[in-house]
Amino acid sequence: MTDISQSISVVNIGLESFYTELAEQNVPAVQVDWRPPAGGDVGLIDKLARLQCPEVEAANAQTLSRLMNSRPLWVDVLPAIDAIPGMEHNNLLHSGPPIAFGDMCDPQQRAVEAAAIFEGWVSDRAGLVAKLNSGDIRLRPNYAFGSVGAMCGIISPSMQVIVTNNATYGNRSWSTFNEGKGNVIWMGTYNEGTIERLRWMRDVLAPGLRAALRTRDEGIDIFKIIAEGTSMGDEVHARSAACTLLLLRQLTPMLLAADIKRRVVAQIIEFLGQNNHSFLSLTLTACKAAADAAHGIPHSTVVTAMSRNGVNFALRVGGIADEWFIAPTAPMDEAIYYSGYGPTDAAGDIGDSAIVETAGLGGMIIGAAPSISSFVGGSMQHSRQAMAAMRSICAGANPAFAPGAVDFTPAPVGIDIRKVVRLGLTPIIDTGVLHKASGVGQIGTGIARAPMAAFTKALAGMPLPR
């Protein structure tokens, strides 16, 4: 019974080649994927040990509570300049951390150019550069204002924005409406039709939706729609098809009740209905309003914002009020590319939309969207594993978003920088991929990894409770 030739089995911890060799010889073996914590960095390990304390746990619990108790409502539509406190008449807001025009990735430069043309400030690139140099036009990051933009994320003063109010905590967030597919500035590509569409959105779409919203006292409950949509195939970052339909069900009676021409009602419904990303802008504002409400609790190690501009990635931690931690974006080598394109064609990871993962949606609940299981391996089993991995770096789980397709597993929520650094595992972010130079716009879709350097910087920056 104890003959070693028959009963040996091995648990191998760490270096995988030991396991592989045993497995090749048909010796029963289990590989434990162990790595030294924090990559073996003694300073970080010491910091991690010191942050393992009740003050941090309590702060994180409060951060989670604020994230999960937030109730963001879409309440109004206003010109950006009227809606966003602090925005000035010559500001062009963009996604990600602050960046000079010359340092921006090509698609974001194109989007800035289109917005300046839309505003009537310039007619071409040369004019734009001159006005940027003279200070007549000023680039500012959305994150300085509490606004959010998908992909290139440009908000110019006369663009109309969704106004979302966090009914629980009273704070607000803003974003533009989604333009859809094709030549669209959120994807960093434009032509004359693009500018024309932006004008229609400003002059027809926005006033119509404003009038519709004003037909009732309370706004549209965004998280309530998301709760339903996450059991209808949406993880609400790469896919918002169900949420867009659920939104239309609420909006249509409101549009019909408002004083809007019937032809315009039809146009608005058509515009929103034919674009499965229509709901995405609402998700962004809701997640931002929730994350902002959760920000600023001393000692919290939970991430309260992630944002990228195609060059750099930035994150903010709940316990550090006024600082963003910035690192170069990770390569886009895990995305799925359209035919003829590959990682070498890609601009860096871009958009304020990583606020979705910050709030425990998107990549955190990738199993909600079976249609994108290909992002993480191709089967629901892969999606479940990805969610389990995300759960291992999060402070908690949110039963409000519990996708049926993964047996109602609650959404991992509250990325804890301690866990990220200890496990050497950063969040996945569902995203589109833009061409780095050609102006063709989107060339792929998939996941991006948040860069570890931003998390180790944030961890190093955490003050010690005692």
Q: Which residues bind a copy of itself (CB under 8 A)?
A: 1, 6, 231-233, 241-242, 245-246, 248-249, 252-253, 256-257, 262, 265-266, 269-270, 273, 369-371, 373, 379-380, 403-408
CB of residue 450 vs a copy of itself: minimum separation in angstroms? 26
Identify which of residues 376 and 395 has a Cβ nearer to a copy of itself in the complex.
376
CB of residue 266 vs a copy of itself: minimum separation in angstroms? 4
CB of residue 82 vs a copy of itself: minimum separation in angstroms? 31
CB of residue 84 vs a copy of itself: minimum separation in angstroms? 32
| 362 in Cβ contact with 356 (< 8 Å) | yes
What does the DSSP 8-state code read for residue 90? T
Say which residues have a Cβ less than 8 Å from residue 441's Cβ, sequence separation at least 6: 107, 182, 183, 184, 187, 188, 189, 434, 435
Identify which of residues 307 and 409 has a Cβ nearer to a copy of itself in the complex.
409
CB of residue 245 vs a copy of itself: minimum separation in angstroms? 4
Say which residues have a Cβ less than 8 Å from residue 404's Cβ, sequence separation at least 6: 231
From residue 453, give the alpha-carbon distance in Å to each of 169, 178, 236: 32, 31, 27
CA distance between the termini of the chain = 56
Identify which of residues 112 and 222 has a Cβ nearer to a copy of itself in the complex.
222
CB of residue 242 vs a copy of itself: minimum separation in angstroms? 5
What does the DSSP 8-state code read for residue 346? B
Identify which of residues 200 and 408 has a Cβ nearer to a copy of itself in the complex.
408
Identify which of residues 253 and 342 has a Cβ nearer to a copy of itself in the complex.
253
CB of residue 77 vs a copy of itself: minimum separation in angstroms? 21
| 324 in Cβ contact with 121 (< 8 Å) | no
Say which residues have a Cβ less than 8 Å from residue 209's Cβ, sequence separation at least 6: 77, 251, 255, 268
Q: How many CB atoms lie within 10 A of CB 21?
A: 12
E strand residue ranges, 80-170: 91-94, 138-141, 160-166
CB of residue 9 vs a copy of itself: minimum separation in angstroms? 15
Residues found in the chain: 466
Identify which of residues 300 and 383 has a Cβ nearer to a copy of itself in the complex.
383
SS3 assignment, position 38 = helix
CB of residue 279 vs a copy of itself: minimum separation in angstroms? 12
Identify which of residues 127 and 273 has a Cβ nearer to a copy of itself in the complex.
273
Structure tokens at 61: 């619990």
Give the integer Cα–Cα distance in Å for 133 and 127.
10
CB of residue 202 vs a copy of itself: minimum separation in angstroms? 23
Identify which of residues 367 and 412 has a Cβ nearer to a copy of itself in the complex.
367
Give the residue carrying structure tokens 């989604």.
Answer: 178
Q: Is 445 left (phi over 0), alpha (psi -120 to 50) or beta?
A: beta
Burial 436-448 (b: 16+ CB within 10 A, else e): beeebbbbbbbbb
3-state helix, strand, coil in the chain (%, to 5): 45, 20, 35
Identify which of residues 58 and 232 has a Cβ nearer to a copy of itself in the complex.
232
Identify which of residues 247 and 302 has a Cβ nearer to a copy of itself in the complex.
247
CB of residue 33 vs a copy of itself: minimum separation in angstroms? 25
CB of residue 224 vs a copy of itself: minimum separation in angstroms? 15
Give the integer Cα–Cα distance in Å for 167 and 306.
23
Residue type, 286: A
Give the integer Cα–Cα distance in Å for 145 and 33.
42
SS3 assignment, position 265 = helix
Structure tokens at 223: 């998280």
Identify which of residues 6 and 134 has a Cβ nearer to a copy of itself in the complex.
6
Q: What are phi and psi of 77, to 5 degrees?
A: -130, 125
Identify which of residues 241 and 350 has a Cβ nearer to a copy of itself in the complex.
241
| 230 in Cβ contact with 365 (< 8 Å) | yes
